[in-house]
């Protein structure tokens, strides 16, 4: 897994990526964070089959206003930031709102790993929706 967080982010105490986040969570992210002792109700919001990080006071629940409290164990998508998947263009792009995006590069390997993550997230979402619909039809 590529970890894109560079020292420029930490050196400048930048938390822009944690503000009003809609970061999707993989099943592996959820397991990892639960192992840290957090209850899923604390950090997950579910929308249309997607698991996403919750926000509190306009930022990720794991950001205290200065830093990520689970940095070492943060979600996979956070490790790619400021690289995002542009669904319309089907390519990896930089988040236009990142003030340090020029300090990063998008390599072929990063793109491949990001696409694999997106594919896994979509597959997990589909499975959750099938299970949810199945449970609804039983009731």
Other beta carbons within 10 Å of 63: 23
- Extents of the domains making up the chain: 7-129
pLDDT of 13: 87
Kindly state the average pLDDT of the residues 56-71. 95
DSSP 66: S
Kindly state the average pLDDT of the residues 60-68. 95
Q: Tell me the C-alpha distance between 92 and 95, whole Å.
A: 10
Percent residues over pLDDT 70 in the chain:
94
Stronger pLDDT, 2 or 79, i.e. the higher one:
79
Q: What are phi and psi of 98, to 5 degrees?
A: -75, 120
Residues 6+ apart with CB under 8 A from 18: 59, 60, 62, 63, 68
Residue-wise pLDDT tens digits, 17-53: 999 999 999 999 999 999 999 999 999 999 899 999 9
Confidence of residue 138 (pLDDT cuts 50, 70, 90): confident
Q: Average per-residue pLDDT in the chain?
A: 91
Confidence of residue 93 (pLDDT cuts 50, 70, 90): very high
Kindly state the average pLDDT of the residues 49-67. 96
């Amino acid at each position: 897994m590529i970890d894109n967080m560079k020292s420029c982010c930490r050196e400048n105490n930048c938390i822009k990526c944690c503000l009003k986040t809609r970061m999707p969570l993989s099943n592996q992210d959820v397991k990892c964070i639960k192992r840290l002792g957090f209850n899923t109700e604390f950090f997950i919001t579910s929308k249309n089959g997607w698991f996403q990080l919750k926000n509190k006071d306009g930022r990720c629940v794991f950001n205290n206003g200065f830093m990520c409290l689970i940095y070492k164990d943060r979600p996979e998508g956070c490790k790619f930031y400021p690289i995002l998947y542009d669904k319309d263009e089907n390519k990896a792009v930089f988040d236009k709102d990142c003030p340090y995006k020029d300090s990063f590069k998008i390599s072929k390997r990063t793109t491949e790993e990001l696409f694999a993550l997106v594919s896994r997230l979509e597959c997990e979402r589909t499975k959750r929706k099938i299970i949810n619909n199945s449970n609804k039809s039983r009731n």
